[in-house]
């Protein structure tokens, strides 16, 4: 709700002595004698609420929708006793008992605490309608019903006055306490289902607190008119508040840069070989038998090996991956899949697409590559090799390692999330390969000559920042993240992009770069408009035509605006350009972004992705050397 204040009005009191009803009109203003007077009007108790509606889960993915829920947030600076507060749906209302909400935090309340905990991964703070969990406080009153087609949520203070309102979809937009159109779910395509979306308030990226209230859809993250803080989604099971704040760290220690296919297998295998206590590995897929053998050996020696993979990769789970899972499980490790077809589970993320390793709580490897034979060939490279262009960073800074471990443990948490299924010999999908299956061990070749035969290893302080989906991949440029890194580039600076793909626009099938721009692509264009040299290299090996469309659009735009921007397609290492790397030289300082994020809206908003950004001139130079060599081989001069 908008601010309310005690009204103090200063009035000019007109002295109209001698005026009568028949005087023919008011005395001219210039002739009106006036005295300055202050009038204190009675207090109107429309107090600025210390509490707001912060989220609504109304179109549940659960049969019967018993886990519908709303969230309140204490925006004040002191604890708030909710006794007597009410929340209504326009027909029914529930009343809070004595329940204290601390300042600066939120509270979830649902129709069924047990069902809510199963779908969201944590217990709510209160429930109504049923007493499913004796440990969760109950609200009194008729159970709320939030219509899937639209409605309103109304918050009343203990005096019965409206404190906040939310109108969604086909709800009553004329509802007091609301202005303008209702909030709709953000569903530009089938990748963003409206069912299961949680409407939630925009918040300050640094403090985590809700924005000032305007009683309109502009306050909500699904706001269709806001390209930077709006057009977002949220689904049950996300740890948004836990991971949504930028994680920039003044790091120190060893920083290693690796290039694939040149030396990536060596760096990954050495990272795993040094494990003494634990290995946590996340990937989209895993098909490299040599690395699987290493993991199995570690598991057999007593190292705790935990692997998290996507349960529905493009093309399905390969028999090679089933064989690897069986091998690691037989050695004492654990292989888990993130699924939506077991345990009545729904997808937390569209894809578990992050690719990283945490070793012994002392090493972190973040990569653009899956653990495949093409991305990480282990052949003798003295006569060259063949593979996919990719990259990785390895760090031993304790804070960076701790963040990645926390992220992995939050995702691989079968106690609280039903979308996790462990490899099982009896399962036809997440089980062994067919009897007699023989895995492939051949990798590499001789068509590509190495640019960087050895990794780069540095010692000393460096600045690092995590970029991860679905939480921080699209931070506004002034806050940080990838857009912030690219936003540093100006006249005389350089932006180099080497990417599997970059969509020309986001949104639905009818979207255009003008109606629904890709914010990443727009950031590169804006850097060129500021005077930076921008080169964008996209894959030609896997491309069905979308990259060609993007390159054509960029090159025509550059020609029309006379920008120092060129895009081209390439396949520098023979088996695809799979990299997701951005390099920025700004103000003489080199910045590097390496990780799993592709240039689609789904990758930024509904996948699990992880990237690491570092400021290091040496690392920039290491990767830029390979970039320019790839660039020259794929089309000529810079």
Mean pLDDT, residues 306-311:
98
- Give me the pLDDT at residue 638, please: 76
Q: What are phi and psi of 386, to 5 degrees?
A: -140, 145
The predicted-structure confidence for 52-77, as pLDDT tens digits, reads as follows 999 999 999 999 999 999 999 999 99
Domain range summary for the chain, segments of one domain joined by + = 49-236, 247-422, 467-633
Model confidence at 483, pLDDT cuts 50, 70, 90, reads very high
Q: What are phi and psi of 482, to 5 degrees?
A: -60, -45
pLDDT above 70 coverage of the chain, percent: 92
Q: How many CB atoms lie within 10 A of CB 253?
A: 17
Q: How many CB atoms lie within 10 A of CB 98?
A: 9
Please tell me the distance from the alpha carbon of residue 299 to that of residue 304, in angstroms, as a whole number: 6
| Predicted confidence (pLDDT) at residue 45 exceeds the cutoff of 90 | no
The predicted-structure confidence for 556-576, as pLDDT tens digits, reads as follows 999 999 999 999 999 999 999
Distance of alpha carbon 610 from the chain centroid: 9
Residues 6+ apart with CB under 8 A from 570: 537, 538, 539, 540, 577, 630, 631, 633, 634, 635
Please tell me the distance from the alpha carbon of residue 320 to that of residue 116, in angstroms, as a whole number: 37
Are residues 102 and 63 in contact, defined by beta-carbon separation less than 8 angstroms?
A: no
- Give me the pLDDT at residue 31, please: 32
Q: What is the mean pLDDT of the chain?
A: 92
- Give me the pLDDT at residue 54, please: 98
- Interhelix angle 289-300/264-273, rounded to 10 degrees, is 10
- Give me the pLDDT at residue 49, please: 66
- Give me the pLDDT at residue 13, please: 30
Question: What is the per-residue DSSP string for 334-359?
Answer: EEEEE-SSSTT---SSS-B---EEEE
Model confidence at 227, pLDDT cuts 50, 70, 90, reads confident
Mean pLDDT, residues 437-460:
97
Q: Which two tokens stand for residue 610?
A: 């992880």
| Predicted confidence (pLDDT) at residue 607 exceeds the cutoff of 90 | yes
The predicted-structure confidence for 531-548, as pLDDT tens digits, reads as follows 999 999 999 999 999 999
CATH of domain 49-236: 2.60.40.1260
Residues 6+ apart with CB under 8 A from 278: 303, 304, 305, 306, 358, 359, 360, 361
Q: How many CB atoms lie within 10 A of CB 345?
A: 20
Helices (H), 217-317: 240-243, 264-273, 289-300
- Give me the pLDDT at residue 228, please: 85
| Predicted confidence (pLDDT) at residue 324 exceeds the cutoff of 80 | yes
Query: pTM for the complete prediction?
Result: 0.91
> Which residue is it, tokens 């009194």?
140
Equal CATH topology for 49-236 and 467-633: no
Choose the weakest-confidence range: 14-28, 398-412, 622-636: 14-28
> Which residue is it, tokens 């299956």?
437
Please tell me the distance from the alpha carbon of residue 567 to that of residue 553, in angstroms, as a whole number: 9
Choose the weakest-confidence range: 199-203, 469-473, 632-636: 632-636
CATH topology assigned to domain 467-633: Endonuclease; Chain A (3.30.870)
- Give me the pLDDT at residue 636, please: 73
Q: Which two tokens stand for residue 310?
A: 């996507």
| Predicted confidence (pLDDT) at residue 9 exceeds the cutoff of 60 | no
Are residues 275 and 359 in contact, defined by beta-carbon separation less than 8 angstroms?
A: yes
Q: How many CB atoms lie within 10 A of CB 505?
A: 20
CATH of domain 247-422: 3.30.870.10
Residues 6+ apart with CB under 8 A from 101: 51, 72, 74, 79, 80, 82, 107
Bridge partner residues of 129 (DSSP)? none
Helix H or strand E encompassing 283: strand 278-283
pLDDT above 90 coverage of the chain, percent: 89
Please tell me the distance from the alpha carbon of residue 315 to that of residue 336, in angstroms, as a whole number: 18
Please tell me the distance from the alpha carbon of residue 555 to that of residue 222, in angstroms, as a whole number: 33
Mean pLDDT, residues 376-400:
97
The predicted-structure confidence for 462-474, as pLDDT tens digits, reads as follows 999 999 999 999 9
- Interhelix angle 546-561/519-529, rounded to 10 degrees, is 30
- Give me the pLDDT at residue 430, please: 98
Model confidence at 20, pLDDT cuts 50, 70, 90, reads very low
């Amino acid at each position: 709700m908008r601010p309310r204040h005690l009204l103090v009005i200063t009035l000019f009191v007109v002295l109209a002595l001698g005026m009568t009803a028949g005087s023919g009109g008011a005395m001219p203003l210039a002739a009106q004698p006036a005295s300055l007077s202050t009038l204190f009007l009675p207090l109107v108790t429309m107090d600025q609420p210390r509490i707001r509606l912060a989220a609504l889960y109304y179109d549940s993915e659960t049969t019967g929708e018993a886990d519908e829920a709303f969230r309140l947030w204490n925006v004040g600076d002191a604890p708030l006793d909710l006794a007597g507060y009410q929340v209504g749906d326009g027909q029914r209302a529930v009343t809070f008992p004595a329940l204290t909400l601390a300042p600066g935090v939120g509270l979830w309340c649902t129709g069924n605490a047990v069902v809510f905990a199963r779908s969201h991964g944590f217990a709510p703070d209160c429930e109504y309608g049923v007493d499913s969990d004796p440990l969760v406080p109950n609200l009194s009153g008729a159970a709320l019903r939030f219509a899937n087609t639209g409605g309103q949520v109304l918050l009343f203070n203990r005096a019965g006055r409206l404190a906040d309102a939310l109108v969604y979809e086909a709800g009553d937009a004329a509802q007091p306490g609301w202005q303008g159109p209702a909030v709709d779910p953000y569903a530009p395509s089938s990748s963003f289902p409206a069912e299961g979306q949680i409407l939630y308030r925009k918040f300050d990226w640094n403090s985590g607190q809700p924005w000032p209230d305007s009683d309109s859809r502009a306050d909500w993250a699904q706001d269709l008119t806001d390209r930077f803080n709006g057009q977002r989604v949220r689904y049950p099971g996300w740890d948004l508040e836990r991971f949504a704040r930028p994680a920039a760290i003044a790091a120190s220690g060893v920083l290693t840069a690796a290039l694939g296919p040149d030396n990536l297998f060596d760096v990954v295998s050495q990272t795993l070989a040094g494990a003494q206590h634990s290995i946590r590995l996340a990937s989209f897929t895993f098909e490299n038998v040599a690395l699987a053998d290493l993991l199995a050996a570690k598991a057999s020696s007593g190292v705790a090996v935990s692997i998290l993979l996507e349960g529905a990769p493009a093309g399905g789970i390969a028999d090679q991956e089933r064989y690897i899972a069986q091998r690691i499980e037989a050695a004492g490790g654990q292989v888990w899949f993130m699924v939506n077809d077991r345990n009545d589970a729904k997808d937390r993320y569209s894809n578990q697409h992050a690719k990283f390793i945490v070793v012994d709580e002392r090493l972190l490897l973040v990569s653009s590559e899956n653990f495949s034979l093409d991305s990480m060939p282990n052949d003798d490279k003295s006569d060259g090799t063949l593979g996919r262009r990719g990259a990785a960073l390895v760090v031993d800074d304790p804070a960076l390692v701790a963040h990645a471990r926390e992220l992995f443990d939050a995702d691989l948490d079968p106690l609280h999330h039903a979308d996790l299924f462990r490899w099982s010999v009896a399962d036809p999908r997440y089980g062994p390969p067919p009897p007699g299956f023989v895995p492939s061990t051949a990798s590499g070749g001789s068509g590509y000559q190495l640019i960087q035969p050895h990794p780069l290893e540095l010692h000393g302080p460096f600045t690092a920042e995590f970029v991860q989906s679905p939480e921080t991949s699209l931070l506004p440029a002034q806050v940080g993240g990838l857009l912030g890194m690219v936003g540093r580039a100006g006249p005389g600076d350089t932006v180099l992009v080497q990417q599997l793909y970059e969509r020309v626009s986001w949104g639905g099938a009818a979207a255009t770069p003008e109606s629904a721009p890709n914010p990443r692509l727009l950031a590169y264009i804006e850097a060129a408009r500021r005077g930076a040299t921008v080169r964008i290299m996209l894959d030609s090996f896997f491309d069905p035509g979308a990259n060609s469309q993007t390159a054509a659009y960029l090159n025509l735009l550059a020609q029309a605006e006379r920008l120092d921007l060129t895009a081209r397609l390439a396949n520098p290492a023979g088996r695809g350009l799979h990299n997701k790397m951005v390099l920025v030289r700004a103000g003489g300082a080199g910045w590097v972004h390496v990780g799993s994020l592709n240039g689609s809206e789904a990758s930024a908003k509904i996948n699990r992705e992880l990237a690491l950004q570092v400021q290091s001139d040496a690392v920039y130079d290491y990767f830029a050397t390979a970039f320019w060599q790839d660039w020259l081989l794929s089309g000529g001069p810079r």
